[in-house]
Structure 1
Amino acid sequence: MIRTPLRPLARILHARAQGENPDAIEAENRRARHEVMRDRSRARAEGRILLLGLGFIVAYAAIGAQMMKIAATEPEEPRSASSGAEILAGRADITDRNGRILATNMLTHALYAQPKDLVDPARTAQMLAEIFPDLKAEDLQRRFTDGRSFLWIKKVISPEQMQQVHEIGDPGLLFGPREMRLYPNGALASHILGGASFGAEGVSSAEVIGTAGIEKALDARLRDPAQAGAPLELSIDLTVQATIEEVLDSGIKMMNAKGGAAVLLDVKTGEIIAMASLPDFDPNDRPQPLVKGDPADSPLFNRAVQGVYELGSTYKIFTAAQGMELGLVNPETMVDADAPMIWGKFKIKEFDNHNYGPLLSVTDVIVKSSNVGVAHIAMMIGGTRQQAFLRALGLLSPSPVELVEAAGAKPLVPARWPEIVTITASYGHGLSSSPLNLAAAYATIANGGITVTPTLLKHPTPVEGARVLRPEVAKNSVSMLRQVVTRGTASFAEVPGYAVAGKTGTADKPKPTGGYYHDKVINTFASMFPANDPKYVLTVTLDEPVETSGPEPRRTAGWTAVPVAAEIIRRVAPLVGLRPQVDAGAANGLTAVSVTE
């Protein structure tokens, strides 16, 4: 840079020639130079201030944007770094066949503590014990001061409890978001749904897993992120389920029973429209399983699936149907019914020592529920063919229904199948199965002879199974069952407008130590309606019922299970869209006459 001299020679000489002071020229040049330097310094300073201002504006904008982002998101605790897989908390809803919610999710919070950050552990422990009565202040204070750095206090808390904890104001108490399973209908359909609990847990989320019922059986489907938005549709109808549970509960109380089960099954599709087991439980607060004693004493026990019982005379129609299928008998064939029947050292007797013989038609064997008559039909069939037929009906295998408990409910089948087993199996003694298995077997007769697979998933189209009976044999079997109601052991099953067909079964309850009780029974009524074109099968089973309205206690199915089933059909048939059939008659009882002048 070329600097201008402060005392230029030419000007100095000229100033002296004019008699002027040359120092003024130097002072003027110095002032001009300083002004240029000040202007340059000012320009540099202004540029720096402008850049600094722009920097502040950008920083404030970034901070403001981040604050807006934080304000727009849900609050959550900081997530610690982890090399493990992310916890998947989403779980699909469960609905009934009409889309009504059976199980869903609810956002709640868990409460945990970081003891090192607690301001006053003793006060905090005391106040938490007041909010949560199941916690003890002494235990909390001990755990707050034993040196640990993390402590779960409650895995699930309500919004009201969360607010009360907030009011304690201790920074060592923290909340973690939780998605918990909610069953809005309480105990309704509890054995079907089962329940859920927490699996893997972190402070920011928890995995919800099924613990029983369909929640566990279809756990992978319900937890699949790809299907989280699609509810799992069950085959049950919530209204029908509630009605059956209500009637069954009243029937159990009226018949002084220990418990009971009921299954309503669509005979074409195998869909379970309702399945009840009582006593039941609330899956929102699932009780602990029994660790000793009879599992059936627990409300968790599903009598419709896990209850493996001798189902008594309900099996007799299977023997008659197989005999007709093989061409050995027809509905009018006369068979030996002379009681008692002696087979080796065994004596086959009728109920209450009746003798319906010497001969009965096959139809009357079913109507009168003759053990001897059906035993003679079974001897014509033979044990090998009998066993194969019962297996084809699904009575010798666990039910394939979508419940985790079903696989363990194996029917009790004799290891050997001698002729005496052939005889006793013909009338439902000596082998055991579940009420659901029985319902599926009766559906095979009701739908014309095609096996069905019971399911809890909605699929309204018929599923083709194997044919085990000719249509005419199935029709004759239904006719026999209808006569059991009109003139046999199930007369209390008559429901005006709905022709009911069915078979009673009364079986002595086995003792744990062997043998049978003489005053404890398992009563079953397996039915189908309407009999002229069966749409549904209903089985009702009561554990240790006794009807006490008369002078002597009555324990047969005709007095206990049948009236309960009749009331269920009367209430449920309109709900499933069946119109009552009324015999046509005179409109008003008047006779029209013509009048002439």
Structure 2
Amino acid sequence: MIRTPLRPLARILRAREKGENPDVIERENKRLRHEAMRDRERMRAEGRLLVLGSMFVGAFFVVGMRMGALAATDPSEPRASAAGSAIMAQRADIVDRNGRVLATNLETHALYAQPPQMVDPVAAARGLASIFPDLKEDELVENFTGKRKFLWIKKKISPEQMQAVHEIGDPGLLFGPREMRLYPNGPIAAHVLGGASFGREGVASAEVIGVAGVEKQFDADLRDPARDDAPLQLSLDLTVQATVERVLHGGMTIMNAKGAAAVLMDVSTGEIIALASLPDFDPNSRPRVLTEGDASDSPLFNRAVQGVYELGSVFKIFTAAQTIELGLGNADTLIDTKGPLTWGRHRIREFRNKNYGPFLSVTDVMVKSSNIGTARMAMEIGGARQQDFLRSLGFFEATPLEMVEAASGRPLLPRNWSDISTMTVSYGHGISSSPVHLAAGYASLLNGGTRVRPTLIKRAAPQVGEQVVRPETSAAARDMLRAVVARGTASFGDVEGYRVGGKTGTADKPRPRGGGYYDDKVIATFASVFPADDPKYVLVVTLDEPVETSDDEPRRTAGWTAVPVAAEIIRRTAPLMGLRPEIEPAALEGVTLTSN
């Protein structure tokens, strides 16, 4: 920068030669210098003001855009955030074989508090206690006025409760969106579905996880985003399931039973159309697990899958079928039924010491339910071959069913399969299995002899399993079971138009401690197939400690308890499954045929 002197010598000398005052030159130069300095400062100030003004304009523009964006979105509560992985809340629906919803999702809210943001903690606690009677006002006040910065109050609330909390008006009471699991049919198929609960939780979302049944078995699959909202389709039929549960509950009540179970299975595909266990529960409000006492007393206990019982004479048809399969006899072969049958210190007698005569055909052994006749057939078969046959029907393995509880339903077998074990197992004592095991065994035996495995997933085609018996043996077994209903211990099981075949089983209930059996407590079972000549379905009904009291003497046998309940289930469900009744032609005895 070149600085101009205030008193330039040349101009001072010229001014003196002309007689002018040199101070005028200095004053003029000062004025010009000051004006130049002033102009520079003004330009600098104006530039700063322009930049500052531009910044303010930009800031107001950004704020205005943000306010517009917020005004265009739905209102939401502030969220407390924390570092961590994202929580996936979406869960696929579960539907029955016809696409009807068994389990779905419902949007709701959770309620939480941030005490540091609360205006009036005492009033907020009082308001919450009035909205939620299960909350205690003094505990809320203690939490709100203490050192806690975050507090869950309710994991799920209704829209009405949410509005009531809004009306309290405290900024420290906040809501978090939730996706809860809803079972619109209440307790129907509760043991199959199991239930769901919250896993990892945040204020913005919560993880819904399965805790039992198919919800837990298929938990990862139901939460897989790759499903693209495709539902899990079960083999159950909601209408049939509801009907089975209603009839079973009525039968359990009439027969004064402690509990009951029913399994309805397609004999070709192994699909379970209905599976019921009573008492049951509502999966929308799943009860707590028993911490003491007998686990089977809990409504959470699945008697059809987890219940492993001695099922009694329903096993006799397996012995008869194996006798025919091995060529040791046919349906008309006579069996020695003179009793009692003695083996060492053990004696095998008929029920109530009945005497069925010296001989019965294999069919009549089933019709009369002869323990002695069945035991003698078993001794002809032998223990090793008996075990192989029962193993081929699935009685040596846990239930291969798509439920987490199925693994615990492993049959109880004799430790030492001696000759006496061979005899007692032949009529269903000394071996314990679940109703699902029994249903799968009957389906495999009676569908033509092809092994099927039970499933809760809908299938489009029959299973192609190994051949366990010849079709001729399967047909003979069906005929024998039909005879049991037509003229044997299961006569109350006859349903007009559906040609039911089946076998009863009444097993004394073992004592939980000290060994032995109760004198007045039984497990009554009826395993049936219909139609018997062209089997479509197998139905197993089991009652725990039933007592039929219409007569002076209480009756506990399956023929009086389980059979009528099963017959009513068949009568109501067969039309629902598309089976048309067919009237059997009457016998032609006493009718003379004439020609025109």
Partners of 2:236 and 2:342 in 1: CA distance: 47
* Deviation per residue, 1:339-379 (Å, 9 max, x gap): 21111101101011112131111111111100000100100
Superposition deviation, residue 59 in structure 1: 5.0
2:246 paired with 1:243: no
**Mapped contact 2:484–2:501 kept (Cα < 8 A):** yes
Superposition deviation, residue 56 in structure 1: 4.0
Partners of 1:313 and 1:417 in 2: CA distance: 19
Partners of 1:518 and 1:71 in 2: CA distance: 76
Residue aligning to 2:289: 289
Q: Any idea what SS the aligned residue of 1:99 has?
A: coil
Partners of 1:244 and 1:228 in 2: CA distance: 33
Superposition deviation, residue 61 in structure 1: 7.1
Superposition deviation, residue 411 in structure 1: 1.1
2:300 paired with 1:317: no
Aligned residue identity for 1:536 = Y
Partners of 1:527 and 1:534 in 2: CA distance: 10
In the superposition, relative to structure 1, how do residues 146 and 79 fare at CA in structure 2: closer, same or farther (>3 Å)?
closer
Partners of 1:136 and 1:81 in 2: CA distance: 29
Q: Any idea what SS the aligned residue of 2:410 has?
A: coil
Superposition deviation, residue 75 in structure 1: 2.4
2:424 paired with 1:428: no
**Mapped contact 2:445–2:468 kept (Cα < 8 A):** no
TM-score w.r.t. structure 2 length? 0.88
Q: Any idea what SS the aligned residue of 1:260 has?
A: strand
Residue aligning to 1:191: 191
* Deviation per residue, 1:108-166 (Å, 9 max, x gap): 11111111111111111111111111110011111112211111111111111111111
Superposition deviation, residue 53 in structure 1: 8.2
Residues 551-562 of structure 1: pairs in structure 2 closer than 5 A: 551-562=552-563
Residue aligning to 2:225: 225
Residue aligning to 2:589: none
Q: Any idea what SS the aligned residue of 1:292 has?
A: coil
Residue aligning to 2:12: none
Partners of 1:583 and 1:111 in 2: CA distance: 65
* Deviation per residue, 1:493-523 (Å, 9 max, x gap): 1111110000000000000121000100000
Residues 90-109 of structure 1: pairs in structure 2 closer than 5 A: 90-109=90-109
Residue aligning to 1:19: none
Q: Any idea what SS the aligned residue of 2:211 has?
A: strand
**Mapped contact 1:76–1:204 kept (Cα < 8 A):** no
Moved more, 444-453 or 558-567: 444-453
Residue aligning to 1:566: 567
Superposition deviation, residue 582 in structure 1: 2.1
Moved more, 420-429 or 330-339: 330-339
**Mapped contact 2:507–2:523 kept (Cα < 8 A):** yes
Residue aligning to 2:339: 339
Aligned residue identity for 2:309 = Y
Partners of 1:51 and 1:357 in 2: CA distance: 117
Aligned residue identity for 2:335 = V
2:349 paired with 1:349: yes
* Deviation per residue, 1:375-425 (Å, 9 max, x gap): 001001111111111111112221010111110122111111000000000
**Mapped contact 1:540–1:565 kept (Cα < 8 A):** yes
Partners of 2:71 and 2:364 in 1: CA distance: 80
**Mapped contact 1:190–1:283 kept (Cα < 8 A):** yes
Superposition deviation, residue 530 in structure 1: 0.5
Aligned residue identity for 1:543 = D
Residue aligning to 1:582: 583
Superposition deviation, residue 228 in structure 1: 4.7
* Deviation per residue, 1:144-192 (Å, 9 max, x gap): 1221111111111111111111111111111111111010100010000
2:509 paired with 1:541: no
**Mapped contact 1:77–1:176 kept (Cα < 8 A):** no
* Deviation per residue, 1:528-577 (Å, 9 max, x gap): 00011000000000000011111211110000000000000000000000
Q: Any idea what SS the aligned residue of 1:188 has?
A: coil
Partners of 1:522 and 1:219 in 2: CA distance: 34
Superposition deviation, residue 306 in structure 1: 0.8
**Mapped contact 1:266–1:537 kept (Cα < 8 A):** yes
Residue aligning to 1:10: none
Q: Any idea what SS the aligned residue of 1:538 has?
A: strand
Residue aligning to 1:408: 408
2:445 paired with 1:445: yes
Partners of 2:181 and 2:78 in 1: CA distance: 22
Q: Any idea what SS the aligned residue of 2:526 has?
A: strand
In the superposition, relative to structure 1, how do residues 53 and 203 fare at CA in structure 2: closer, same or farther (>3 Å)?
same
Partners of 1:271 and 1:162 in 2: CA distance: 43
Superposition deviation, residue 478 in structure 1: 0.4
Partners of 2:62 and 2:202 in 1: CA distance: 34
2:393 paired with 1:385: no
Q: Is there any run of 5+ residues in structure 1 with no aligned partner, and where?
A: 1-33, 586-597
Partners of 1:273 and 1:74 in 2: CA distance: 46
Aligned residue identity for 1:178 = R
Residue aligning to 1:4: none
Root-mean-square deviation (Å): 2.3
* Deviation per residue, 1:269-291 (Å, 9 max, x gap): 00000001111000000000111
**Mapped contact 1:443–1:537 kept (Cα < 8 A):** yes
Superposition deviation, residue 465 in structure 1: 1.0
Residue aligning to 1:496: 496
In the superposition, relative to structure 1, how do residues 54 and 294 fare at CA in structure 2: closer, same or farther (>3 Å)?
closer
**Mapped contact 1:340–1:355 kept (Cα < 8 A):** no
**Aligned residue-pair number:** 546
Superposition deviation, residue 69 in structure 1: 5.8
Partners of 2:151 and 2:108 in 1: CA distance: 18
Residue aligning to 1:205: 205
Partners of 1:295 and 1:62 in 2: CA distance: 63
Residues 39-118 of structure 1: pairs in structure 2 closer than 5 A: 56=57, 60=61, 63-64=64-65, 67-68=68-69, 71-73=72-74, 75=76, 77-82=78-83, 84-118=84-118
Aligned residue identity for 2:342 = I
Superposition deviation, residue 72 in structure 1: 3.0
**Mapped contact 2:367–2:480 kept (Cα < 8 A):** yes
* Deviation per residue, 1:312-353 (Å, 9 max, x gap): 000000011111111111111111111211111011010111
Partners of 2:51 and 2:564 in 1: CA distance: 94
Residue aligning to 2:301: 301
Aligned residue identity for 1:308 = V
In the superposition, relative to structure 1, how do residues 270 and 52 fare at CA in structure 2: closer, same or farther (>3 Å)?
same
Residue aligning to 1:516: 517
* Deviation per residue, 1:444-467 (Å, 9 max, x gap): 122111111101011131111111
Superposition deviation, residue 64 in structure 1: 3.4
Aligned residue identity for 2:323 = G
Aligned residue identity for 2:79 = P
In the superposition, relative to structure 1, how do residues 126 and 572 fare at CA in structure 2: closer, same or farther (>3 Å)?
same
In the superposition, relative to structure 1, how do residues 66 and 397 fare at CA in structure 2: closer, same or farther (>3 Å)?
farther
Aligned residue identity for 1:458 = K
TM-score w.r.t. structure 1 length? 0.88
In the superposition, relative to structure 1, how do residues 149 and 51 fare at CA in structure 2: closer, same or farther (>3 Å)?
closer
2:151 paired with 1:159: no
**Mapped contact 2:77–2:174 kept (Cα < 8 A):** no
Partners of 2:78 and 2:204 in 1: CA distance: 6
Partners of 1:195 and 1:86 in 2: CA distance: 23
Aligned residue identity for 2:563 = V
**Mapped contact 1:275–1:304 kept (Cα < 8 A):** yes
Aligned residue identity for 1:488 = G
In the superposition, relative to structure 1, how do residues 174 and 413 fare at CA in structure 2: closer, same or farther (>3 Å)?
same
**Mapped contact 2:375–2:427 kept (Cα < 8 A):** yes
In the superposition, relative to structure 1, how do residues 142 and 61 fare at CA in structure 2: closer, same or farther (>3 Å)?
closer
**Mapped contact 1:267–1:443 kept (Cα < 8 A):** yes
Q: Any idea what SS the aligned residue of 2:247 has?
A: helix
**Mapped contact 1:261–1:540 kept (Cα < 8 A):** yes
Partners of 1:141 and 1:62 in 2: CA distance: 39
In the superposition, relative to structure 1, how do residues 140 and 61 fare at CA in structure 2: closer, same or farther (>3 Å)?
closer
Aligned residue identity for 2:522 = V
Q: Any idea what SS the aligned residue of 2:453 has?
A: coil
Partners of 2:134 and 2:71 in 1: CA distance: 36
Q: Any idea what SS the aligned residue of 1:380 has?
A: helix
2:365 paired with 1:365: yes
**Mapped contact 1:248–1:564 kept (Cα < 8 A):** yes
